[in-house]
Amino acid sequence: MGTLHQVIIGASAAGLAAVEAIRRVDKDCPITVVSKEPMPLYSRVGLTHFISREVGYDGMRMRDDGYFDRMRVRGLMGVAAISVDPTARRVELSNGEDLAYDHLLVASGSHAVMPPMPGTNLQGIYSCITNNDATQIDEAIPRAKEAVVIGAGLIGIQVVDAFARRGLKTTVIEQMPHVMPAMADAVSAAMAEGALRTAGVTVRCGGRATELLGKNGQITGVRVESGEVLPCQLLVMAAGVAPNIDFLDGTGVTIHRGVFVDAYQRTSMEGIYAAGDVAETVDMFSGERAVNAIWPEALNQGRIAGLNMAGVATAYEGSMAMNVTTVIGTPIASIGRWNPQVDEGHQIREVRDDQRRSYRKLVFTGEQLVGAMLVGDFEDAGILHNMIRTRTTFTLTPDRLAPATIRWGTVLRAIGKAGRV
């Protein structure tokens, strides 16, 4: 060992997980991390907490300034990958360097999608993907009386929550019937919308923004399908993301919705791996291929890629959806196959307590727990996640595991007696 040059494009969750996995196996091989962002090693999960002023810059840091030195990594910050030559195994960089590699990991993350509509070139329009985005939004808030957020997915809702904490009058627009359509069912979404409205947020679902209006080059409002104009001086576009993979053009790497990888995070080109928001993997329950752009899966995929790059053959068991957020003080989580189709033969147990603002839904297939939807009560979210991920088989019936009556000591003893822990 110690001779292979491992090059990693991206210095966020997947990239750093790969660094640490490689170093656990090989203490000596040269590792180069390339990141187009100048700020080192911060967590995107912390961006909206920075906007809300819950944390400062240090609160977003994933690793300290000495991390690369301790890990014996060459870090090229503020440098972008321009192109890749898989035959020569070289990466052209924006600093003019032509970087040779033995193994290359593409962990370059994603960027915000700007829906096609008039006015997207106006000032005062932001996304919330990078530290620079968060800084610009933070600086714009004092100059704004009203804000609009387009898109009520995970990022959009977290931005809305941050604006509410800052006292900014905010409207959120979501074209689907309810907020957080990819991570919340109708019941949990209604609870989230109630919390938002109580905090003074205007929630508009089931319609689209059609035009961004401005004066003297500055955003002044958003026109919606009905023709109504919603005034704003600050707009955040959170209508989806797409992988940062332009530098792979012409390489022959297979790309569908993301970079197509096998169970070992290998792409279609020898020596090139992919992980995180760029990687199209297999869902562990449905078997369908998808890009599951969430933090826990980025960490897991990066670790798997790093081990394989270091010569330790390790298969990825498949991605599993898990989204967690807090909406105006109300925690919400969805795990696994939380919203199955009616005809898929699942058993669903639900309990709702409006006084406590809590809701719990467990989804079973036979003796296995395959999904959970939680609002308000998170104490056993970790246990549920582990049982779903490990496909734990229960000897107890779903009725005995109904959310209102769960006693985890009894459950764990039952699993233990069956020899499954």
pLDDT in tens, 275-285: 999 999 998 88
Check whether residue 106 and residue 136 sit in a common domain.
no
Which H helix or E strand runs over 408? helix 408-417
Residues of the chain predicted below pLDDT 70: 1-2, 40, 342-344, 394-421
The backbone torsions φ and ψ at residue 19, rounded to the nearest 5 degrees and listed phi first, read -55, -50
Does 165 lie in the same domain as 216?
A: yes
Same domain, 150 and 173: yes
Q: C-alpha 359: how far from its chain's center?
A: 23
Domain span at residue 166 reads 114-239
* In-domain check, residue 90: yes
> Do both 46 and 58 map to the same domain?
yes
For the chain, the farthest-separated pair of C-alpha atoms sits apart, in whole angstroms, at: 72
pLDDT of 420: 41
The pLDDT score that the predictor gives to residue 401 is 58
Contact 276, 298 (CB under 8 A): yes
Sheet hosting strand 330-336, strand order edge to edge: 322-327, 330-336, 368-375, 358-365, 347-353
The reply to whether 105 falls in a domain is: yes
CB 333 within 8 A of CB 371: no
CATH number at residue 134: 3.50.50.60
Same domain, 202 and 99: no
Residue 320 falls inside a structural domain:
no
In a domain, residue 1? The reply is no
**278 plus 294 within the same structural domain:** yes
Give the model's pLDDT for residue 61: 83
Three-state DSSP class for residue 407 = coil
pLDDT of the residue at 394: 66
- β pairing state of 279-282 and 81-85: unpaired
Phi and psi based region of residue 228 (left: phi greater than 0; alpha: psi -120 to 50; beta: remaining): beta
132 shares a domain with 103: no
Question: What is the reported pLDDT for 35?
Answer: 95
Distance between CA atoms of residues 418 and 283, nearest Å: 28
Instruction: Select from 222, 239, 256 the last residue of a domain.
Output: 239
Residue 258 maps to a domain: yes
CB-side neighbour CA atoms (13 Å) of 343: 0
Contact 239, 127 (CB under 8 A): no
Pair (191, 150) in one structural domain: yes
DSSP string, 39-79: S-SB-GGGHHHHHTTSS-HHHHBSS-TTHHHHTTEEEEET-
The pLDDT tens digits for 392-420 are 776 655 665 555 545 555 555 555 544 44
- Do residues 95 and 127 both lie within one domain? no
Mutual orientation of helices 186-198 and 154-165 as an angle, nearest 10°? 20
Query: Is residue 344 a part of any domain in this protein?
Result: yes
Domain-located, residue 37: yes
Residue 94 main-chain phi, psi, to 5 deg: -70, -15
pTM: 0.89
CA distance 385 to 82: 39
The last residue of one of the domains, among 205, 239, 273, is 239
- Local structure of residue 269 (DSSP, 8 states): S
260 shares a domain with 217: no
What's the confidence (pLDDT) of residue 354? 84
202 in the same domain as 261: no
Boundary residue ending a domain (239, 268, 301): 239
Do 314 and 18 form a contact (C-beta atoms < 8 A)?
Answer: no
SS3 191: helix
In this structure, the answer to whether residues 127 and 227 fall within a common structural domain is yes
Name the domain count of the chain: 3
pLDDT value, residue 400 = 58
**Do the domain assignments include residue 27?**
yes
CATH number for position 360: 3.30.390.30
